[in-house]
Amino acid sequence: MKIDIKSLSYKYDEKKVLHNINLSFNKGKFYGILGPNGSGKTTLIKLMTGLLSKKSGEIFVNNKELDTMSRNEIAKNIAYVPQIFNISQGFSVRDIVLMGRHPYIKRLESPSLEDYEKVEEAFRETNLTGLRDRFVNELSGGETQRVIIARALAQDTGIIVLDEPISQLDIHYQHEIIRFLKYLCEVKGRTIIASLHDINVAVNYCEEVVVMKEGVVKAQGKAFDVVTEGLIEEVYDLKVSIFDGKGRRYIGW
Ligand SMILES: Nc1ncnc2c1ncn2[C@@H]1O[C@H](COP(=O)(O)OP(=O)(O)OP(=O)(O)O)[C@@H](O)[C@H]1O
């Protein structure tokens, strides 16, 4: 399960926001996309999940051009966890997670036994079993984020793309979600791509990072190799110090 991006550029009306992006995301790895506000992370994510249609360049999902894939086909390959999830009143946790099965349920048909089993599995994996009958608009931010991740799991895709999955969470839930994403890569072989604002999390948990600035990929590769004091200063315009200890790397300012 992989995504290959070749010579991708994008503009909103006349404003060019991505410039000649070339990237590959490979099976079973956890990728972090870093970069300052407005550097193009969300735009890139929306293009690779088919939410925005590209204007130049190529995006391949498992060697198939994204443009040639139906919405359903994309949804069977890539699950998307958005940055902001507006939940309509009146949906239970179970309703939302079952929505992950939509690509598999034929029009006018009811969910199958397999659909319900996938939903139950997603509940178990995200520790949501006890919350399944609650209304989603009555949950905390951390619980809501877990519900959206559970929906992505129920979608049963090889690739999960998340836009800032932990930026609204306290450190307990940040840790829980990041560890869970790592487990999905290492144990379940999923490809995880997440935009992240926390450089410390990206460096210590992601196998590879992509660092963007003003719509350009400034660096990509193994997190420990790529994230240097010089690169952070160049990209974020901020002097930082990097410390190593107990097998971890800390970026301080
Ligand atoms: N719908 C839109 N119409 C016009 N310009 C947009 C639109 N969405 C984003 N932009 C612009 O595109 C650029 C990239 O935005 P994008 O949201 O992709 O960045 P980002 O790295 O995800 O930012 P953040 O970290 O703040 O979420 C910014 O200059 C932004 O103002």
Q: What is the pLDDT of residues 149-166, one digit of tens each?
A: 999 999 999 999 999 999
3-class SS at 252?
strand
How high does pLDDT run on average in the chain? Answer: 93
Decide whether any atom of ligand 1 lies within 6 Å of the 158 Cβ.
Answer: no
ipTM of the complex: 0.98
Closest CA to 193 of 210, 180, 177, 176: 210
pLDDT at position 167: 85
Where in the chain are the domains?
A: 3-252
For residue 37, how far is its CA from the centre of ligand 1 (angstroms)? 8
Q: For 183, which DSSP code? A: H
Token duo for residue 204 = 């210590």
Reported as a pLDDT band with limits 50, 70 and 90, residue 168 is confident
User: What is the CA(42)–ligand 1 centre distance, in A?
Assistant: 7
Closest CA to 226 of 36, 33, 41: 33
Strand partners, 58: 6
Confidence at residue 33, expressed as pLDDT on a 0 to 100 scale = 98
At 144, is the pLDDT very low, low, confident or very high (cuts 50, 70, 90)? confident
Q: Give the three-state DSSP class for 53.
A: coil
Percent of the chain residues past pLDDT 90, beyond the cut: 78
User: What is the number of other CB atoms lying within 10 angstroms of the CB of residue 98?
Assistant: 20
* Ligand 1, atom 13, residue with closest C-alpha: 38
- 107/143 Cα distance (integer angstroms): 30
Nearest CA to ligand 1 atom 2: 12
Which ligand 1 atom is the nearest neighbour of the CA of 46?
18
CA distance 222 to 225: 5
pLDDT in tens, 172-223: 888 888 999 999 999 999 999 999 999 999 999 999 999 999 999 999 999 9
Helices (runs of H) and strands (runs of E) counted in the chain: 9, 12
* CATH fold for domain 3-252: Rossmann fold (3.40.50)
* 208-213 vs 30-34, strand pairing mode: parallel
Summarize pLDDT for 31-87 with one digit per residue, the tens: 999 999 999 999 999 999 999 998 799 999 999 999 999 999 999 999 999 987 676
The verdict on the CB of residue 43 being under 6 Å from ligand 1 is: yes
Indicate which residue's Cα is closest to atom 1 of ligand 1: 12
- Segment 89-115 shows an average pLDDT of 92
Residues 6+ apart with CB under 8 A from 99: 151
Residue 149's alpha-carbon distances to 58, 113, 247, in angstroms, are 28, 21, 29
pLDDT in tens, 208-217: 999 999 999 9
- Between the CA of 105 and the centroid of ligand 1 the distance, in Å, is 34
3-state SS of 67-95? HHCCHHHHHHHEEEECCCCCCCCCCEHHH
Residues 6+ apart with CB under 8 A from 217: 21, 22, 23, 210, 211
46 contacts 8 by C-beta, under 8 angstroms: no
Q: Are 76 and 61 in contact (CB under 8 A)?
A: no
Nearest CA-CA partner of 159 in 75, 53, 65, 44? 75
Is residue 21 within 8 Å of 212, Cβ to Cβ? no
